[in-house]
């Protein structure tokens, strides 16, 4: 069994390693696992590990899972090819997409980038006070926060996704957790969580964030 690089008293575990090697070793109650993942996108920055073959890495991640999660959230750039989602098994039916909007857009060529897109798979959580309805858009409380990670994410976005697509007792799993934004979001909701990150510098960033509920991005 691979030992975690960090464990918190609130049930957060962070592993340093390749998710394709760590995932088969995880001893989890897979009936409670919700995958919340911002993978290496098809058009990701070339400095990211796996950017040379994001399609292959994505398929191999799914193949490395010892069991299917109960639900999944896949977080992509609005310029990423949605055919990338073809790796998601048919046993996890598509539910809907959610636009993750930023109050201040950015630009790439002729494209105005005002949002990213999250895709929800699996049966939705039971209706509750925070999940009675599922919105088509979520607005971040600010723009992409600065961090030492080259691809920062809004913890406000991820916090909303965890709140929408999981319920008390679930275990949040992020095989590409970067500097730990998904783990911070899970901690906010009081969820157990497991993150895996291959880059040691990002693991150290995640270890520094957990426990403080910082509001900066991945």
What are the boundaries of each domain within the chain? 6-209
Q: How confident is the model at residue 87 (pLDDT cuts 50, 70, 90)?
A: very high
Whether 169 has a pLDDT exceeding 90, the answer reads: yes
- Residue whose token pair is 């911070």: 184
Q: Give the other-Cβ count within 10 Å of 104's Cβ.
A: 9
- Cα separation, 199 vs 109, whole angstroms: 30
Q: How confident is the model at residue 130 (pLDDT cuts 50, 70, 90)?
A: low
Q: Where are the alpha helices (DSSP H) in 84-212?
A: 155-165, 181-188, 200-209
Q: Give the other-Cβ count within 10 Å of 106's Cβ.
A: 11
CATH match for 6-209 among 3.40.190.10, 3.10.129.10, 3.10.180.10, 3.40.50.150: 3.40.50.150
Which uninterrupted H or E stretch holds 55?
A: helix 54-64
Whether 124 has a pLDDT exceeding 90, the answer reads: yes
Whether 177 has a pLDDT exceeding 50, the answer reads: yes
Q: How high does pLDDT run on average in the chain?
A: 88
User: What average pLDDT does the segment 55-73 reach?
Assistant: 97
Return the sign of the alpha-carbon dihedral for residues 171, 66, 94, 105: positive
Six token digits for residue 67: 């069991």
Return the sign of the alpha-carbon dihedral for residues 50, 166, 113, 150: negative
Query: What is residue 173's DSSP assignment?
Result: E
Whether 145 has a pLDDT exceeding 70, the answer reads: no
User: What's this model's pTM, rounded to 2 decimal places?
Assistant: 0.91
- Cα separation, 24 vs 4, whole angstroms: 14
Least confident span in 53-62, 98-107, 131-140, 179-188: 131-140
Edge-first strand listing for the sheet containing 71-77: 6-7, 12-16, 192-197, 171-174, 33-37, 71-77, 111-122, 94-108, 137-139
User: What's the burial of 11, exposed, middle or buried (CB within 10 Å: 0-12/13-18/19+)?
Assistant: middle
Nearest by Cα to 175 from 6, 24, 9: 24
User: What average pLDDT does the segment 12-20 reach?
Assistant: 97
Nearest by Cα to 200 from 153, 149, 163: 149
User: What average pLDDT does the segment 184-209 reach?
Assistant: 93
Q: What percent of the chain has pLDDT over 70?
A: 89
- Cα separation, 180 vs 123, whole angstroms: 26
Which pLDDT value is given to residue 190?
A: 94
User: What average pLDDT does the segment 122-139 reach?
Assistant: 83
Q: With H, G, I as helix, E, B as strand and everything else as coil, classify residue 119.
A: strand
């Amino acid at each position: 069994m691979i030992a975690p690089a960090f464990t918190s008293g609130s049930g957060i575990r962070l592993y340093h390693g390749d998710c394709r090697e760590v995932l088969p070793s995880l001893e989890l109650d897979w009936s409670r696992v919700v995958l919340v993942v911002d993978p290496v996108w098809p058009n990701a920055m070339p400095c990211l590990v796996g950017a040379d073959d994001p399609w292959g890495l994505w398929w191999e991640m799914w193949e490395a899972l010892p069991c299917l999660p109960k639900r999944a959230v896949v977080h992509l750039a609005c310029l990423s090819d949605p055919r990338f989602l073809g790796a998601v098994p048919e046993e996890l039916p598509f539910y809907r997409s959610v636009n993750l909007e930023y109050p201040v857009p950015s630009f790439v060529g002729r494209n105005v980038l005002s949002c990213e897109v999250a895709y929800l798979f699996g049966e939705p959580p039971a209706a509750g006070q925070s999940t009675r309805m599922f919105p088509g858009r979520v607005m971040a409380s600010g723009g992409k926060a600065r961090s030492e990670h080259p691809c920062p994410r809004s913890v406000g976005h991820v916090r909303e996704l965890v709140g929408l697509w999981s319920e008390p007792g679930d275990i949040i799993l992020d095989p590409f957790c970067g500097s730990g934004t998904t783990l911070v979001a899970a901690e906010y909701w009081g969820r157990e969580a497991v993150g895996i990150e291959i880059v040691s510098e990002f693991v150290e960033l995640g270890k520094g964030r957990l426990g403080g509920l910082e509001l900066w991005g991945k």
